[in-house]
Each structure stands twice: as structure tokens, then as C-alpha cells.
Structure 1
Amino acid sequence: LLGQTGKLTKFHDEITCKYEDRADSPFLHIFYDLDSQSKNPPDIENFLRSRKADEKNPDPSRLTPVLVRGDKQLEERLKHQIEHAEQQKQKIEQMEQKLHDLQKKNEEAKTRQLRLKSQHLILAHRVLVLLGQVECIQAKGLPLQTTEENFRYKLEQIQKELNSPGVYKSALNEISATLMQETPDLSGAEAEWDPETTEKMQEFLKQQHEGITHLVNIINEDMADAERLVKHLDAQLYQGRRFKQ
């Protein structure tokens, strides 16, 4: 019994000796790191370059073999791998959270897009209805706004004044009668007016001419404004018809 115990003890010591962290430990294992993570000790470079390590390399273009000797190095290696895996797990969780936030924002954007599209359709329908009403009002010759009605009234009054030349003619007749009363010697075509009377007549005619010219300019400006208003309304109607089609 003592002999068997001694053999077991010796066998245990031999196994323990093999797994101790010694330079000649027979327990060897090769791991593979990314090139950016590899930190190979200089004393094992020749071993890492051996054919055995290279043949088992799953991706020589990206991975570098790393030698682990003894139980302690293996434990440290596993510890580092667990820490690295935990870091990767945290990064994945962060990415999943960001992805979830992006998906939520995407759904909110889709909902907002649908709401805006619905509002756009409602407003487009209102514009079409309004354009139809404007076209009907224009077809009837009715004004669209109060300012347009006032503008139309002023134009009609100016037109009436221009169509009634008696207003200016009567003013000229009154001036002629006044001059005849002040100068009894003036009679018909044979009458000769003095320079002062002629100057007054010319001044009066000049004022009348300036007044008529000013009126014509106002009418032209008003007509230009009216044409621009009509063109603007026609353009809106044309756009409304195109949108409706």
C-alpha cells in the first residue's frame, strides 16, 4: 500500500511539474491574435514562426500565433478573453440601443410624414376649391376685394370725366366771357388780345394740359396694376388646373 501511495505521489508531482510555469514546461498551446493585438515575447519568436503554428493559422493575413506555456499563462489568457468578450458584449448592447433609438426616430418620422401628407392633400383641395370660386367670380365680372371695387369706381369716374368734354369747354367759355367783359373792344375773330390776356390763356391751357396729362398717367398706372392683377390671377388659375390634372 505504501508503495502504491508513493507511486501516486510521484505521478502527481510529475503532472504538477509539467503544468508549472517554467520555461521548459511541456504544456504548450497556441492561440491566435489579431496583428494589432499581438504582443509576442522575443524568446518564443522562433517557435511561433514554426511550420506547425503557421499550418494551423485560420487566417494568416490577419492573425498571428501566440504561445501559451503553463497553467498560469493559460489562466491569464482566459481571463483576458473573458474581459475582452465582456467589452464586446457592452459595445453590442450600446449598438443595439442606438439601433433601437434610430428605429424609434424612423417610425416617428414616418408618422409625421403621413400626417403632413394628409394636411397637404387637404390644403391642396382647399386651393382647388378657392381657385374655382375665383374663376366663377371673375366670369361674373365681380370684384374679389374691396380695394378692387374702389379702384374700379375711380376708373369709372375718370372715364366719365373724360367722356364729358363740356366740363373743360365750359371753363374755357367762362374765361372767354370774363375777358370779353373786362375788354369790351374784343369782338369775335377781329378782336386782338393784348399780351397779358394771351399769356393768361396760355397759362390756363398749360394747366389744363398738365392736368389731363397727369390724369392720363394715373389711368395708365392703374391699368398696368389691373393687368398685373389679372395676370397674377390667371397664373394661379393655370397652376391650379395643372395641379388638378
Structure 2
Amino acid sequence: MALEPVSREEALRRVPDGPTTIEARAIALSPRGRVLRSDEGLVIVHPDHRLVCALGAVRADDVDALFDREQFECELVADRTAYERLKDTRDFERALLHRLGQAWHSRPHTIAELSIRPLTLDDRLDALPEELREEIIYAREHFHVLAGVVDGRPVSFAYDEGTETLSDLSIDTLESHRNRGIGTAVAAAAVGHVVARGMTPVWGALASNAASLRLAAKLGFDQIVGELFVWEEE
């Protein structure tokens, strides 16, 4: 059976506002997002083809046909039920989703050479690795991006995107500036920004990403609230 379009209203009824469905619901909330029925599940396509989410009892051949037809090169994120349907066709990695274990308290950084401010169009991103540069350029166009700036150059970045109540954090720091507390400071500022807007921050990390899990714990994200399975084409 071919993929069938699902109305935005039905999609929002079926995709809850929860930690494991932040990305899927955010896409469903967008007028440009696509929600497709596959068997008893849903396949949800980011409007700029940056992500595909598979929820529930989807058909593996539907997902394969979609990626082949539209030549997607983006991540595929699956919930547990979809993963069980798709695991024989792709090598997924498990990701863990965390929430703060207690109320957030702001923590001003003490790194003398670091300033944290919104990323602007005047900030040069030429020195960033290509994949990160593309991500941050896109994020700057669509979200509020905080930058950690050292010697006038952005070296760490944080932004969030989400639903009506939840916001998923994205953090990255140039390798040359890691292990200096810079990423922690920028991430903490991003968490504060989310909390100040009355949103609940969620931290997602691959189970294999020890550095991200350590940072999450340092910031107080010590409650595991779900899991997803992530596949990205090599």
C-alpha cells in the first residue's frame, strides 16, 4: 500500500506533545511539513528534507521507497515500534532523551575570554567544518542561536526547536575549543533561554556519545524519559 497523506488535524491528534515526539510534532505543526500514513503508523517529513520521523507500525518498504524516490540524505528517527519494523533494513543507533531532575537555576560562567550572545548575520562562519556550517546557517535563519565567542569568533553554538511546551536542545562546539568549559557555558545559557520562555528543555543524545551524556548530567539532565532510534546515511 502506498503512503497516503494525513491531515494536519489527524497528525496532531496522533502525535502527542511528548519528549520522544518533539521533532515529529514540530514538523506536524508546520504548514509545510508532510505527514504520511504507512500501514498503522506515520512517516513525517521535514519541510526542508532535514529529517524523517517514523512512528508506530510503519512498513519498511514504504520508508525505503520514500528515501529512494526523493533521494533523501537526512536522518531517519524511529520510535520503538517503528524501529522493530525497520531494524532489518538499516543500522540504527539508540538515543536517550533526558529532562531536568530539578528546577533550573541560572549559572553565570566564569570564563574570562568567553562572551555569549545571539548569533548574528554579521558573524562569519567560514572557518566551521562544512557540515556544521550548513547546520548553523540553517539554524540562524529559522531559530534563535546562541554563540560562544572567543577572540571575536563564534566557537560554540546552541539553539532549540520544539512544540507547544517542549524544546529540544542542539549544542556543538568546535573541536579546538572543547574541554575548556565553553560548551557547558553556552549550553547552560541555552537552557536558561528555554526555561525563561516557559518551555521544558529536553536533551537528546546517542547512547554512544559519552561526551554529550556527561554534559547532560553536568547540567542536571538526569531523568531519562524515553528513547529513539537514529539512522543516518554514511
TM-score by length of structure 2 reads 0.18
TM-score by length of structure 1 reads 0.17
Q: Computing the radius of gyration over CA atoms, which structure comes out larger, 1 or 2?
A: 1
Larger fraction in helix = 1
Larger fraction in strand = 2
Point out which structure has higher relative CO (alpha carbons under 8 A, 6+ apart). 2
